[in-house]
Structure 1
């Protein structure tokens, strides 16, 4: 459980720090766009009221709190499940990534009403129209890691 908590903390801090530095430090919220290393890395401001790729996006205030509640319930369930399952370290790290990312996006929803997405990457003729953040990467990697390594148990 210590590894899960440490990973969640690191992901949470990295997510919130990068959002603060880019959205407020570089004033991306007003500039809306900064080309860092086109087309591979650009900052494109997007306030996401939904989940990944804007799914379930809704301007109704109730949806904001529903998504906060869902993220908190899922995070709590993952922590409880991981504590009882005696997961291998790689699965604990995956669970920590998922929880830390989810909590990072929860803080955005509570403070700003939407999740601050700013990373935009394109390559090889593919022009990606979507923005995302460190929390989104961690949630995806954590969920994938749990699918792949949830059966791995701690060795005595």
Structure 2
């Protein structure tokens, strides 16, 4: 469980630090867009009040989404407490939990998640922005879904 804590702690810290630096220190709130390596990487201010890609942003879902993020984080911890898991699974859980808590802090402080990373390509103008927490949540969820958990596979019952 210690590995989950540290992976989550560093993920949360990296997420909050990057948001503070880009949004406040580089004043993205006022500037709205900073070309870093155009068109590949642009910092573009977006306040996400909904879920992925802003779905549900028209509804006041702030506290519901905070509750869901906290419930999922607790459920993952309880699940791994009961089943164990490999170090890779614990890192994946830490990424997911750290990212979820990073976005929870945004929702509590700002009422929305601060998204700012926009990646496009020549001929493809991506309208969406994301943040470090979003990447960590995605990577953690993939890890929890697809990494082997370290338990031997269950044997199939033999036919008579």
Distance, in Å, in 2 between the alignment partners of 1:95 and 1:52 is: 19
Name the SS of the counterpart of 2:114 in structure 1: strand
Question: Residues 31-71 of structure 1, C-alpha deviation per residue, up to 9 Å, x if partnerless?
Answer: 100000001110000000011110121342xx111111110
- Structure 1 gap ranges (5+): none
Distance, in Å, in 2 between the alignment partners of 1:13 and 1:57 is: 26
Question: Residues 8-31 of structure 1, C-alpha deviation per residue, up to 9 Å, x if partnerless?
Answer: 000000000000000000110111
Structure-1 residue corresponding to 2:80: 82
Aligned residue-pair number: 152
Shift of residue 7 of structure 1?
0.2
Structure-1 residue corresponding to 2:35: 35
Please show how residues 2-151 of structure 1 align to structure 2 within 5 Å.
2-60=2-60, 63-149=61-147, 151=149
Name the SS of the counterpart of 1:123 in structure 2: coil
Distance, in Å, in 1 between the alignment partners of 2:21 and 2:12 is: 14
Q: Which has the larger radius of gyration?
A: 2
Shift of residue 127 of structure 1?
1.7
Structure 1 runs of 4+ aligned residues shifted over 4 Å read none
Shift of residue 124 of structure 1?
4.6
Question: Residues 115-154 of structure 1, C-alpha deviation per residue, up to 9 Å, x if partnerless?
Answer: 000000012532211000000000000000111115334x
Question: Which of 115-124 and 144-153 deviates more?
Answer: 144-153
User: Structure 1 length normalisation: TM-score?
Assistant: 0.93
The structure richer in helix per residue is 1
